[in-house]
Every structure is written in C-alpha cells, then in structure tokens.
C-alpha cells in the first residue's frame, strides 16, 4: 500500500500511472513496452471478455484462431494496409538458438535464417483473408462471421500501461458478406454493440461516429468508432469497426459465386476492442482515493471486513457473516469475507478503496449487539448503518445504483465538456483551457484538419452519427459546411 496516490489535479498522468500499479492492475515487465497484467487487472479483463463474447455470439459470430505470424509478403498485398502496419512491428528472422562457443550463453544460429521473415501480427486481416479464400466459394458460404481473441504486437516507442503497449490483448472480428449493404450494416451493428457494452457494462458514455479519412484504419473504406471522454478532458477512442469494402477480397482474390453463378468479390468488415478499454475504465471513474469500478465489472462486488478484538469476537462475527456470504453468492453477487488476521481493518479499508470494490461492509462488536452493519459505497464514499434484515436488499440496490450513478456522473462531465464554437480563437481557447470535445464546422478537407492538428494537437475524433444537418462555415477556410464535427486532444 504505502504512500498516498498523487492527486488528479496535481498530475493526472502520474495519478494514472501510480493507480494502475498500486491497485495491482498491471506493471511494466523486463521486456521493453510489454506489460504484465496482474491477477486483479486480469479479472476485470475477463469480465469484459465474457460480456463482449456473449454479445458477439448473440449477434451470430463464432470464435476461431489464426496464426500469430504473418509472412512478410502478405502485408504488402493491400497497399494502404502495409503503409499503416508494416512500419513498427516485431520481425522474426531466425528459428534457432545455439550455445555460444565461448560458453557465454546462447546466440542466434546464423544457419537458421528464415527464407521469408515473419511478422508478429499487428492485426490479422492479411492472414485471415488469405484463409478466407479457401473457405468461400459460394453465396451459401456467406456471411462468414468470425471473431478471434488474441495478442497482437505493435512496436510503440512511448508506451503506457493499458493505453499503449507493444503487446496487447484484444478481439478482432473479421466478417465476409455477399453485398456491400450487408457489410455496412455489420460494421454499424458492431459499433452499436461496442457502445452498448461501454454504456451498460463499463458505465462509460460514448459518442458514436465516423472517422475522417486521415484517421481511418489502414485499408478501410469507412471507420466507425466510439469515443469516450476522460476526466482530464482528453478523448479516448474506445473501439472501432471498419467497413473494408472489397479491398482485402481483391488483394487476396476472394470471390464467391452468387445465386446466378456469377463470380464476385466479397465485402468485408473488421472490428476490435483491446485492453486499452482497461485504461478507459480506470480514467473514467476513478478518484484520488483509487479505483472506482462499476459493479458489473468488479471482480469483488462486496467485501466484508470484521472489526474485532480476539478470536472469540471474530468467531461471533463469522457466525453471522458466513450465512450472509452464502446468501449473497446465491444471488450471484461476488463477495469476499476478509478475515485475515495479518492485517488491521484500517489497512483493509484502504486496500479495497484503492482497488475500487463497490460496496464495503464492516461489522464490529457494537453492530453485533445492535443487529446492524456499516455499509459503505465506493463511488460516493457514503457510509450508513443498516439493520441486518435490510442488508441484502440494500446491497442489491447499491449494485444497481452505483452502476447508474457513476454513469450519470461521467455523462454529466462529458455533457459539460462538449463546447460549440464558431471561431478558431474560441476553439484554441477551449482546447487549451477547459478541454473536452469541441464541436465545430469543418469544410471536409485534410488541409484544415492537418493545420488544426499541427497548431493545437487536437484531431477530429469523429463525425457523430446522430449529428443534425446545419449550414455553417469552416472556422478556418470559411468554406461552407453542412454539419459539425468533434475535435479533441486524445489518448
């Protein structure tokens, strides 16, 4: 445990880094840019995986597994894809080590050089579409709706736990369709699935939208995204879903015979979310005391801490707690009874506060006599005394109320950080001051987008899908614009 966290207001970035480590979520490893996801952090990721996997299966997708390695030549087959992904990646060149002759350890065996280098997958479109060519012959083989849970590697120079690491965990969906319309509908559907997960499981409000050309996935015709707003006013891209057109089908020659027997190229999508969501979750809800977790993703939803002197008192408390634990578990609530004798209650309180356990129950001698519990909620830090007969319904209420409350709080923060402006002066003032999303008219050209990015570091996070048409002019070029877009500085 040790020292307190840095305050968010002092140094948000330092607060984040400290929190991730102190709450036992993840840490840097001896391998540059690669993290170790610790058991507590991994337990949250498992809950995310389970919820997402269920949603993918409910929408008709199946899981499969494709190779970790991609032959170098595959990357070159789709022109814009190679530009985006072939740059910073891990390259396997040899397949054997041997003992050094001087006995100093092992060295790479120069005789074991691969004929063609293998790239550790940064994303799997190429290897998957090379496989789909064999799987798709007829319209009867479509749609092909496949997802993969996997690790990927992108050689990042500046890394941060969960937000940007060389290796990360993710899921990547890769679907093939007979028509353009169906593929677009699939890409849109998955954006909605991601948004639903973010809002309802992570309690994290997101804006659904389209990426501009310069922010699009390398190889995509259209990129759909969900964008969240962190407490420091920076945006975070939380998930993307790509309509790939026929780009990969053409690059890998994947055709199907339609009902009339005519050969056509297949239409494609891909979509993914990653362990980056862990970073988004942490930064959306947590406070200066530590992690705040939505009950739906908390590995421990309720912790019970006994306050006692001597084993007799502990026994009396345990006698009351054991049936309560049983009853809560029967209701599907994850509960931990922390009766460790090696740590004091105060230490435990701090630990579970730091780790974001939604509800903490304390019970001491006086509670035992009065037939009460002390119930504390992590989101507001409120404590109340509850009669024993009401404690289960109180906990059930809190599971829902904390989920709702932290979403409402994050939404209110997001809503108060969307600022409409019409001049570049105001724009710069908001971006460099209050932060958040800035809603402005944009003429649709890469030139103004680039100029703004260069001068302010803000980028177009998305063109919101529910934006209303509105005549205006670009704040820089003065050219006409039909709708507002959202700019922000971003993670």
Nearer to a copy of itself, 325 or 418 (CB): 325
- The distance from CA 491 to its chain's CA centroid, rounded to whole angstroms, is 12
Q: Which residues pair with 372 in a beta bridge?
A: 387
Whether the Cβ atoms of residue 300 and residue 328 lie closer than 8 Å to each other? no
Least distance (Å) between residue 31 CB and a copy of itself: 5
Residues 471 and 485: their CA atoms lie apart, in Å, by 13
Nearer to a copy of itself, 2 or 468 (CB): 2
Nearer to a copy of itself, 169 or 452 (CB): 169
Q: Residues 6 or more apart from 8 whose CB is under 8 A from it?
A: 15, 231, 232, 287, 288
Q: If you search the block for the tokens 């239409």, which residue do you land on?
A: 267
Residues 339 and 347: their CA atoms lie apart, in Å, by 13
Least distance (Å) between residue 258 CB and a copy of itself: 14
> For 310-445, where are the alpha helices, taking DSSP H only?
310-330, 345-354, 365-370, 391-415, 424-432
Whether the Cβ atoms of residue 277 and residue 402 lie closer than 8 Å to each other? no
Whether the Cβ atoms of residue 69 and residue 121 lie closer than 8 Å to each other? yes
Residues 399 and 302: their CA atoms lie apart, in Å, by 9
Nearer to a copy of itself, 25 or 195 (CB): 25
Nearer to a copy of itself, 153 or 226 (CB): 153
Is beta strand 302-306 parallel, antiparallel or unpaired with respect to 359-363? Answer: parallel
Whether the Cβ atoms of residue 431 and residue 456 lie closer than 8 Å to each other? yes
51-88 burial string, b = 16+ CB within 10 Å, else e?
bbeebbeeeebeeeebebbbbbebbebbeebbebbbee
Least distance (Å) between residue 119 CB and a copy of itself: 7
> Which H/E stretch holds residue 151?
strand 144-153
Least distance (Å) between residue 208 CB and a copy of itself: 29
Nearer to a copy of itself, 253 or 390 (CB): 253
Is beta strand 480-481 parallel, antiparallel or unpaired with respect to 472-473? Answer: antiparallel
Nearer to a copy of itself, 165 or 231 (CB): 165
Least distance (Å) between residue 172 CB and a copy of itself: 14
The contact set with a copy of itself (CB under 8 A) reads 27, 29-31, 34-39, 42-43, 45-46, 62-76, 82, 86-98, 105-106, 108, 117-120, 127, 130-131, 134, 140, 146, 150-151, 153, 155, 167, 169, 342
Residues 91 and 122: their CA atoms lie apart, in Å, by 11
- Among 293, 296, 408, 306, smallest CA distance to 354 is for 293
Nearer to a copy of itself, 47 or 211 (CB): 47
Nearer to a copy of itself, 126 or 419 (CB): 126
Least distance (Å) between residue 1 CB and a copy of itself: 13
Least distance (Å) between residue 73 CB and a copy of itself: 7
Residues 363 and 371: their CA atoms lie apart, in Å, by 10
Least distance (Å) between residue 32 CB and a copy of itself: 9
10 Å CB burial of residue 157 (0-12, 13-18, 19+) is exposed
Nearer to a copy of itself, 90 or 465 (CB): 90
Least distance (Å) between residue 450 CB and a copy of itself: 22
Least distance (Å) between residue 112 CB and a copy of itself: 8
């Amino acid at each position: 445990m040790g020292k307190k966290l840095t305050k968010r207001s002092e140094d948000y970035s330092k607060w984040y880094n400290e929190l991730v480590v102190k709450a036992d979520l993840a840490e840097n490893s001896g391998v540059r840019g690669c993290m170790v996801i610790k058991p507590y952090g991994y337990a949250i990721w498992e809950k995310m995986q389970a919820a997402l996997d269920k949603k993918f299966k409910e929408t008709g997708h199946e899981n499969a597994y494709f190779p970790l390695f991609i032959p170098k030549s595959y990357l070159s087959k789709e022109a814009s894809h190679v530009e985006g992904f072939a740059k910073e990646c891990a390259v396997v060149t040899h397949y054997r080590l041997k003992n050094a002759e001087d006995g100093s350890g092992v060295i790479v065996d120069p005789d074991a050089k691969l004929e063609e280098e293998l790239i550790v997958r940064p994303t799997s479109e190429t290897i998957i579409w090379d496989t789909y060519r064999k799987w798709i012959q007829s319209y009867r083989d479509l749609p092909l709706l496949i997802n993969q849970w996997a690790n990927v590697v992108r050689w990042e120079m500046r890394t941060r736990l969960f937000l940007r690491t060389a290796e990360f965990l993710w899921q990547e969906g890769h679907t093939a369709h007979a028509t353009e319309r169906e593929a677009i509908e699939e890409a849109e559907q998955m954006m909605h699935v991601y948004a639903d997960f973010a809002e309802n499981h992570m309690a994290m409000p997101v804006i659904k939208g389209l990426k501009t050309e310069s922010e699009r996935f390398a190889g995509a015709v259209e990129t759909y995204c969900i964008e969240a707003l962190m407490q420091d006013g920076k945006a975070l891209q939380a998930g993307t879903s790509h309509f790939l057109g026929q780009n990969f089908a053409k690059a890998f020659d994947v055709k199907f015979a339609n009902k009339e027997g005519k050969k056509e190229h297949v239409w494609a999508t891909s979509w993914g979310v990653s362990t980056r969501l862990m970073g988004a979750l942490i930064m959306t809800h947590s406070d200066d005391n530590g992690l705040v977790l939505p009950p739906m993703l908390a590995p421990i939803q309720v912790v019970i801490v006994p306050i006692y002197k001597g084993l007799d008192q502990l026994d009396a408390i345990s006698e009351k707690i054991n049936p309560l634990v049983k009853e809560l578990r029967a209701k599907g609530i994850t509960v931990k009874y922390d009766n460790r004798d090696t740590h004091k209650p105060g230490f435990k309180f701090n630990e579970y506060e730091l780790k974001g356990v939604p509800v903490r129950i304390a019970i001491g001698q006086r509670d035992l006599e009065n037939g009460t519990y002390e119930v504390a909620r992590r989101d507001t830090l409120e404590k109340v005394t509850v009669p024993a007969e009401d404690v289960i319904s109180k906990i059930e209420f809190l599971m829902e109320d904390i989920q709702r409350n932290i979403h409402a709080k994050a939404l209110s923060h997001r809503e108060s950080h969307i600022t409409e402006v019409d001049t570049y002066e105001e724009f710069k003032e908001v971006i460099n001051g209050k932060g958040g999303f800035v809603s402005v008219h944009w003429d649709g050209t890469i030139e103004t987008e680039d100029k703004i990015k260069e001068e302010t570091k803000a980028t177009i996070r998305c063109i919101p899908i529910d934006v209303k048409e509105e005549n205006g002019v670009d704040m820089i070029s003065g050219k006409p614009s039909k709708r507002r877009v959202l700019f922000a500085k971003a993670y």
